[in-house]
Amino acid sequence: MDDATRTEIEAAAFRALRAHLLQARPDVQNIDLMTMAGFCRNCLSRWMGEAAADRGVPMTKDEARELFYGMPYADWVAAHQTEADASKQAAFREAFAANVEKTDGS
């Protein structure tokens, strides 16, 4: 398989994942994704921003989130996010520290 075809297949798989998370399962909360899988929709938007930066394309965090979510992040939150209880917040902090802070140096 040539590199261009592989890249097209990877991009199609990413679009399918994005559609699944945004359209088929918007009920699954980011906090639960992070706790269970070690990443969430916000991670995916951050990775898009990082990929853009790697290619010399300036993109802010808000722009990357809007590109991923297809709307301003605040609109997504208002439509789909729910309040997390203290136990979910604690589990999220642990997952974030293990999966995000260790990889970005924060």
pTM as predicted: 0.83
Banded model confidence at residue 98, pLDDT cuts 50, 70, 90: confident
Q: What is the mean pLDDT of residues 26-30?
A: 94
CATH of 28-104, one of 3.20.20.20, 1.10.3340.10, 3.30.300.30, 2.30.30.360: 1.10.3340.10
Banded model confidence at residue 96, pLDDT cuts 50, 70, 90: confident
| pLDDT value, residue 52 | 97
| pLDDT value, residue 99 | 84
C-alpha 96/C-alpha 84 separation (Å) is 15
**Which tens digit of pLDDT belongs to each residue from 39-87?**
999 999 999 999 999 999 999 999 999 999 999 999 999 999 999 888 8
User: Where exactly are the structural domains of the chain?
Assistant: 28-104
